[in-house]
Amino acid sequence: MRILVIGGGGREHAIVRKLKESPRTTGLYCAPGNGGIAKDAECVPIPVTDIPGVVRFAKDKRIDLVFVAPDDPLAAGMVDELEKAGIRAFGPNAKAAEIESSKVFSKGLMKKYHIPTADYEVFGDPRKALDYIRKQDTYPAVIKADGLALGKGVILAGNFDEAKAAVKTIMEDKAFGASGNRVVIEQFLTGPEVSVLAFTDGKCVKPMVSSKDHKRALDGDKGLNTGGMGTISPNPYYTPEIAEICRNTIFLPTIRAMRQEGRPFKGCLYFGLMLTPDGPKVIEYNSRFGDPETQVVLPRLKTDFVDILEAVVDERLERQPVEWRGEACACVVMASGGYPKRYKKGVEITGLDADGQIPGATVFHAGTALRGGRYYTNGGRVLGVTALGKDLPEALKKAYAGVDKIHFEDAQYRHDIGK
């Protein structure tokens, strides 16, 4: 099979590497890819939002399957256009992808179908939003932009002044563009967080192994929210008993609800969960593989990845086995100094071999460029240094040993992933 992966981050590198393991993969392309992906697939300079460009390329190269990984092209209907052109694609269509691209839609879905989540209200007027926050007078207040915001559209306000600033940033300054036309203000939940990705063909759902993401930039869960500074799998809080509760109260009801709404979801559905004292609740849905969760989940997959993707596209997932390795996996993200705010690009990275790897760990490239055989930083999150181990402490030890071998000016990473 000739496969095209859309995207150019660490998640896409993990996807490309897993596809490369399959004996069924005969041609592998990535648009636009990055410096590290270029060693594992042929990178093509097509932006992720250029839907006509992707369709043209897929036709010209007689691509058998397009894997649409990021949220923007899914929300914009890339899968719809590929299918119209007779090209098979992995990922939800635009109507189904709204489960991520509109918080207002997803919260309404949960309310309608009694899927456990935080209490909330929706506002299109900043003054009414602030009146509500003032009246509730409970902090932290959770303020979410309705639409896609690069994983940064959620602000936790510790007091009214912070809430006021958050509403201004999202709704008036339009920090996330039209995504901030409406906000969801919801009850603050407490408990351990769990990420569970699931394969689904719209009828059957097969959850993957659990993981835990570390969102804050600095040690001790301090600093700004980022796209994710590291991950571990399995999540130690996600017991078989909790998995069963989630399956019956969240996973299956969500798949049924989407089908009922005439939006059957095919692809990977990401469940961001909070294990509250009142039981598991949904914090958010994503309509795709998470980043950097993918970097610790896919290395644990035993079954041929291509077989699973085809079973999802053909709606025969129920008959497709999905098996996992027993080892644990850990990923430590090395970011540019200053991330998630301002940071330099074009800083040389040393310690990687010619393939952009190091002994003892797998390096998934997120924001790198390859020039003259050398690697340079080209983004906020630069590398995801990942390792498998017999248990979590061993996986973390190997991942951090890998981090110690890699150097670039002002490299920033957390020292407490998995603690």
Q: Please tell me the pTM assigned to this model.
A: 0.95
Q: Which CATH architecture has domain 193-319?
A: 2-Layer Sandwich (3.30)
Residue type, 317: L
Topology of domain 120-186 in CATH is Dna Ligase; domain 1 (3.30.1490)
Provide the residue ranges of all domains of the chain, joining segments of one domain with +: 2-93, 120-186, 193-319, 328-404
DSSP H/E element including 158: none
Range 17-47 burial, b when 16+ CB lie within 10 A, else e: bbbeebeebeebbbbbbbbbbbbbbebeebe
Q: Which residues contact 108 (CB under 8 A, 6 or more apart)?
A: none
Per-residue pLDDT of 190-210, as tens digits, reads 999 999 999 999 999 999 999
- pLDDT number for residue 150: 74
Query: Which stretches does DSSP call E strand in 8-75?
Result: 27-32, 42-43, 65-68
Topology of domain 2-93 in CATH is Rossmann fold (3.40.50)
Q: Which residues contact 394 (CB under 8 A, 6 or more apart)?
A: 328
Mean pLDDT (10-residue bins), the chain, 419 residues: 98 98 98 98 98 98 98 97 98 98 96 96 95 94 90 88 95 93 94 97 98 95 92 97 98 98 98 97 96 98 98 98 98 97 97 97 98 97 98 98 98 97
What does the angle CA 191 – CA 199 – CA 33 come to, to the nearest 5 degrees? 95
Per-residue pLDDT of 142-172, as tens digits, reads 999 999 887 778 889 999 999 999 999 999 9
How is residue 137 written in tokens?
A: 């007078």
Query: Residue 1, CB half-sphere, CA atoms under 13 Å: how many?
Result: 23
- pLDDT number for residue 378: 98
CATH number for domain 328-404, candidates 3.90.600.10, 3.40.50.460, 3.60.20.10, 3.50.7.10: 3.90.600.10
**Residue corresponding to tokens 């040690």:** 219
